[in-house]
Each structure stands twice: as C-alpha cells, then as structure tokens.
Amino acid sequence: MDGRSAFDEMGAAPGSPAYAAVRAWLDETPADYLQTRRAQAELFFRRIGITFAVYGDAQAAERLIPFDIIPRIISRAEWSLLERGLSQRVAALNAFLKDVYGGREILRAGLIPEELLLHNPQFCLGAVGRRPPYDIYTHVAGIDIVRTGPDTFYVLEDNVRTPSGVSYMLENRDVMMRLLPELFDRHRVAPVETYPELLYATLQSVAPPRCRGEPTVAVLTPGHHNSAYYEHSFLADKMGVELVEGSDLFVREDILYMRTTEGPMRIDVLYRRVDDAFLDPLVFRPDSALGVPGIMSAYATGNLAIANAVGTGIADDKAIYSYMPEIVRFYTGEAPLLENVPTWRCREPEALAYVLAHLNELVVKEVDGSGGYGMLIGPHASRAELDAFADRLKADPARFIAQPTLALSTCPTLVEEGVAPRHVDLRPFVLTGRHGTRIVPGGLTRVALTPGSLVVNSSQGGGTKDTWVLDD
Amino acid sequence: MLSRTAGDLFWTGRYVERADFVSRLMDATLRLAALPSSYGGDIGAWSGALAAAGVAAAYSDRHPDLGERTALQFMSLDPDNPSSMRCCIERARQNARAVRTALTVEVWEAINAAWLDVQRFGTMLESRPALLRLVESVKAAALAFDGATHRTMLRDKSYWFLRLGAALERADNTARLLDVKYHLLLPRDEPVGGSLDYFQWTTILRTVSALTAYHHVYRDSVKPWLVADLLILNRRMPRSLAACMNDAVRYLDLLAQESGRRGPAQRAAVALSSRLAHGDMDAIFAAGLHEYIGDFLTENSRLAASVMSQYQF
C-alpha cells in the first residue's frame, strides 16, 4: 500500500474545502521557512522536556516524538459524525463491562462465545460483582480511528485501559500557537485546552457516594522510567492534584492514604496509569513494586474510585473487538455509527485457514497487544518473517486476529524532501463521568513518517500532528 | 505535600547551589593557580579547592597524584565524582523531573536547559577554554534557576523546601571553604597590604562572589579577620553562615505556620541562628576559629538530618 492509492485528506487541487487555507499557506510559504519552524518546534519540545521512552532501546531513554507542523484538518461536519459515533461506542463499552462483571446478559443472548469471555486472560475475576461508583468502568477511552475515504471512518482499536497521548494533543496545540500564529489568523480552530478541566471534573464526579466534601483526586504513575511519565506529570500538574507512586501510598482500614509532610491524607479517586496486574500485590502480581497492598480492598469496600476501573482490559481485547457491532446494537439498541474493520478471529478454524492462506495481504495482531508491538504487516514482511509468523499463529491461534491492510488516508506532511503525503490515524479521547460523556474536539493524529508505512505508533518511530476541528 | 516531593525539592535546591559553588570555586582557583608560586600559585591551590568542595578523599581514591588537569577534569565533568558540576546539574534535574508538578514551567525549563547545556561538554574536559565556558554556563544556570523560582513560584511549601535545601547547602559550602582556609584568616601582626596571602584572601572572596561586597561593607583593604567576619557573622552577605541560617529559620517557620506544628528542625535552626546572631569575632578567634567552623559543619548536618526525619523523606 502506498500514498498513491490511498485517500488524501487534502486532495489534489482544489481538493477539500476544509484544507483550502492550509493549501494556500503551503503554496505561498517558502520551504526553508517550514524547515526552520520545524526545527524550532523540536527545540521547544526538547526544552519543555516532552519526551517519550521506548522500551528495549537503552540509548533513547528520553526520546522526542517527531512533530509535524502541518496541521491535520477535520471539518465540523466530519467531527459531528465522529463525536456521535464515539459517544455511542463508549456508552456501549461501559454497558458491556457492567454486564460482563454483573448479570452477563450478553452470554445468555448468545452473542459472544462464553469461553472467549470467561477464559480470556483479560477477564478479571477480582472485578466480578464489584460495581464501581455509578457503574462507570472506562472513564478515559482512547478510540483509534482510521479513514479510508471521504465518508469512511473505521474504529481500528478501542483503548479502554490506560490510553495515553493526550498530553501530545495539548502540547502540540500549544507549540503550534506559538510557532505559527499566522495560521490561526486564517482558521477558526476549536479549542482543546479544556481537556484537563474536563478530566478533573469527570474524576471528581465518580468519587464514591460515601465520600463527604470535596473529593481528593491523585494520579498514580509507575514512576519516571515509564514511557508516558511526562504525560502523567503533565496531567497531574494541569489538574492541580498530586502525582503519586506506589511507595507514596498505603492502605489502613480499607482507606487509601498518601504520605505527606502533614501526615497521611486520604485519597477518594485514583486516576491510575498503572496496569491492573501491578495495582495490588495482594491480589494480582505479588512481585509488583508499583502498586499498593490492600488497594483492592479499599476499592471493594467502596472507599475508593479507581479510573479506569479494574478489569476494563476485556473490552479492548482484539477478539472481543470483532464483536463490537453486535455489542453496540445489543446495549444501545441502535445501529453502530462507526464501522469496525472486518476481522478474522484466528481462534475459529475457517478464519485461521483463510488467514494462513492470505498472510501476505493481512495485518495480524495479538489480541492483547498494544503499541504496535508483536504485529505482522503481511504486505511489508519478508518470506522468512511470514513463515515464522505462520508458525506462531498455528501454535496458538486464539492469541491472534487478522484484518485487511487498510489504505489509511494520507495528509500533507513535512519531510526531508518537502511536503509529501503520509498515512495518519486519529485518537480522540472520550471522557465518561457521572453526568455523561465529554469529548474535546480533536485528538492525537499520529503519522507514519516513512514513505508508504502504515505503522503510526510512536514506539515504532511514528510522529504526531496537531489536529484541528474547524468550524465551517 | 507528598513527603517524596518535599525531599526531591530539597535536593534540587541543594544540587543547584552546589553546582554554583563548585563553578565559582573553580573560577577563583584558576586565577590563584595562575599566579607565580610565591603568591600562592602552586598545586596547593588545587588541593585546597578539592578539600573545600568536600571531595579530597574521593579524588585521592582515584588519582594517586595531584595534578591540575586531573583536578580540573574531576571537578568539572567527571561522572564518578558526585559533586562535579556535571553531576550536580544532572542530579538537580533528576530530582526536578521527579517533581515536575511542583515546579513552574519556567523553573523546569531553566534546569532542563542547564542539563542540555552541560551535556554538550561530554564527560572529558576538552580544553581550558571549554572549562571556562562550562563555568560560565553553570553560573548562568544557577542565576536563571534562582530567578525563575523567585519570579514564578508560588510562595508555598514547594518554594520553601527548595529554598531551604539551598540555604543549608550554601551554609555547608561557605563553612567548608572557611574550614580549608581558616589558617589564612587568623589575625596576625603584619604590615597591612604587604602580605602575599592577599591573593589567598581574594580567592576566598571571589569564591563566594563577595570581593566587591567586601569593599562596600568595610571600606577597607582586605584584612583576613574582616574576611572571616564577612563570611561568618555578617547578615548582609547572602553567603555568610549567619545569613544562611537566618534563611533556614525563615523557611522552616513558614513551613511550621502552614502545618501548625513546630518540631526538632525548627528548634535546631533557631539555636544555630541565634548563636551566630550573638557571635563576636574576637571571641571566636580566642576560642579557636577552626573548632568553631568544625562545630558549625556538624550542627548544620544535624539540622539537615532533622529536616529529613521531621518531614519524612
């Protein structure tokens, strides 16, 4: 797949009306000006210290994610469609989670095979029968959207555990406003800067009902070696709450406290950026040094809200993903507004046979994978890689799903040679609190900087762009 | 405030202050070492500097011989010397990075920029001009850091822990400098202005950036007992022991007001500060300058330890 056959969002002149002003700007702006601005943007990011650690790369303990200064444009009409589709999908995901850990009506309706749910490693026994406040499980969801045509959007993945990237959405906008004020003169760009406030309000709204007074919120990070540490500290800072590590916390009589210079202080809502498995060594991994012994009993007793709730991983399992159209219909009673990418579940023998026969055309992913690790992109793989992957697939088919290689849309992107089309995706962030769903207009656009590449993950060398929702 | 946060802020303040002290110490020692040996310009200048930086033992563990180049390398960029300028900036930044949320963007940018700058020098000192650039860069970084904290930070616990760390480190640095050079500051019967030790005294003053201040305060030629007075008892001199303890008392008081609780740290600081406030140079000389400084260093470390235990970091 390459840029020529993919849908370009700006299009050949005159192209998309939403891109008209950007096109004019690109036409009249000298190439060296763009390169200068790009270099300045990089300098900004390095000075602010917005860095990202890539696992398995000791050299790059602190690496910058490449930033592209050409904004990605979404028209208001397109955004309205996305917004409705995202709200619907996240509502369905929350209802699904409540059901999975509660009455399991979806199993009785026969929509999903029982063993796929109950024997799934992502199914969390510790969450069964424990209702989080207001039955909200995924307070922060990052839904990955790809586009293949003027009106065709697909959901590629639902990230409902601890999705990251929102700090880039905010910092990208900030840097753009500093570097290219002239572009903002020509556009009415919907603001994204309210995100931290909305996040704070969302977190406060889900405090346990028995919490009296103003709820205390804290952000739990695995620490500064974590790849997303910058984002954790950024969000805590913008919300004005403490950024805590496991060692700062303790549980006494089923209440979670942080150690402060004034003595212990109670926490009501914990926005955790630590995976379930590491949360509580008494319940999950006993070797975890990142969590807090007893935190699950504080949660179970109703003294603590955890966002996102424990056990959400089942909803972003990629085999469950393939049932999302049925899940949306089942819980909302509506037809899904956003499409799913057709998915072969390799656990099913016919699907496996098809996938093995067409491996060089497909993308194959681990059901619980994320960040682009451990996936196969058939059209870009060598014979040897395909053979090796086929062996893994045959050894444990239930661990994999396969999808067609989508012709992801492209956007104009500044590269060494000048402005060229590069494939992009979009991760909007959906907040769900006691009073409903909020989505800031925009999201994180990730761009594959290598010509023809479809892999946008920052851990795989992808870059980011500022994403503009324009009022028509 | 999280106890860990308090600790990280305290150490950020300390490391920036130490980096600044080491840079000024190197600057002043380079001048002294460049003089003819009869004026004090010999290798002894460097052994004094290593002692004043508190790294004499660490140095001799690694290097059997004292040499100017080795000493310069050790104090500037050596990754194995925790008090090298490079390591101080690196640790200050590590601590600051762990408490990004307690700092303003400006403060963080100042410390991050300093780190990026120091990294450009690598781990091996290239040349003497490179050293001078490094010294200037670290001095400027400390000024930028202090300026950013002063101009942008809320006057709350974050600011007080940061400044408290700096005050205790600064007192420690001045006291160690005095401890190494005390023998040069004893009152003696010598013709004024005729002493070759003049350059030793001015080196001391330069290290605490007080050469000009000295003249403003005393309106007199440089006399060793007045240098001692300036660095120990004079509250107008920001690096004097009295001024540092005054600051420590103030920040600890503010912390106590905020929490409504006074503890061993507050009491220790008040005791140290009032001893300095009622001090008298003649009495100090009579009882022994060296002992006085030694006692102060011990008390100051105890004070730091009681801050750490009281606020649990």
Q: Residue A336: what residue type?
A: P
Asked if residue A159 lies in contact with residue A370, where contact means CB atoms within 8 angstroms, the answer is yes
List the single residue in B with minimal CA-CA distance to A260: B2
Q: Do B259 and A262 touch (CB under 8 A)?
A: yes
- A59 or B208, which is more confident: B208
Q: Which two tokens stand for residue A132?
A: 């989080």
What's the mean per-residue pLDDT of chain A? 91
pLDDT of residue A2: 44
Whole-number Å distance between alpha carbons of B311 and B313: 6
A107-129 pLDDT tens trace: 999 999 999 999 998 999 889 98
A243-288 pLDDT tens trace: 999 999 999 999 999 999 988 999 999 999 999 999 999 888 888 8
Asked if residue A339 lies in contact with residue A149, where contact means CB atoms within 8 angstroms, the answer is no
Confidence band of B224 (pLDDT split at 50, 70, 90): confident
List the single residue in B with minimal CA-CA distance to A223: B98
Q: Do B4 and A47 touch (CB under 8 A)?
A: no
Angle at B171 between CA B170 and CA B175, to 5 degrees: 115
Q: Do B312 and A237 touch (CB under 8 A)?
A: no
pLDDT of residue B143: 97
For residue A420, is pLDDT > 90? yes
CA dist A398 → A95, A115, A139, A372, A394 (Å): 25, 11, 29, 19, 9
- A167 or A458, which is more confident: A167
Q: Do A248 and B2 touch (CB under 8 A)?
A: yes
Average pLDDT over residues A372-385: 87
B264-281 pLDDT tens trace: 999 999 999 999 999 999
Q: How many angstroms away from the CA of B41 is the closest CA of chain A?
A: 41
- Residue among B1, B97, B116 whose CB faces A224 most closely: B97
pLDDT of residue A61: 55
Q: How many angstroms away from the CA of A78 is the closest CA of chain B?
A: 36
pLDDT of residue B195: 59
Contacts of A244 in chain B (CB under 8 A): 2
- Please report the number of interchain residue pairs, chain A to chain B, with beta-carbon separation below 8 angstroms: 53
Average pLDDT over residues A393-403: 93
Q: How many angstroms away from the CA of B6 is the closest CA of chain A?
A: 7
Asked if residue A156 lies in contact with residue A144, where contact means CB atoms within 8 angstroms, the answer is yes
A165-204 pLDDT tens trace: 999 999 999 999 999 998 998 899 999 999 999 999 999 9
User: What's chain A's length in residues?
Assistant: 472
For residue A303, is pLDDT > 60? yes
Q: Do B116 and A244 touch (CB under 8 A)?
A: no
Poorest-confidence range of A20-24, A142-146, B212-216? B212-216
Average pLDDT over residues B166-175: 96
Q: Do A261 and B3 touch (CB under 8 A)?
A: yes
Closest residue by Cα to residue A444 from A470, A426, A422, A457: A426
List the single residue in B with minimal CA-CA distance to A225: B98
Contacts of B1 in chain A (CB under 8 A): 242, 260-262
Q: How many angstroms away from the CA of B279 is the closest CA of chain A?
A: 33
List the single residue in A with minimal CA-CA distance to B101: A237
Contacts of A262 in chain B (CB under 8 A): 1, 259
B26-80 pLDDT tens trace: 988 988 888 887 777 778 889 989 999 999 999 999 999 999 999 999 999 999 9
- Residue among A47, A258, A260 whose CB faces B112 most closely: A47
pLDDT of residue A170: 95
Asked if residue A235 lies in contact with residue A166, where contact means CB atoms within 8 angstroms, the answer is yes
A46-100 pLDDT tens trace: 877 776 655 444 444 567 789 999 999 999 999 999 999 999 999 999 999 999 9
pLDDT of residue A1: 43
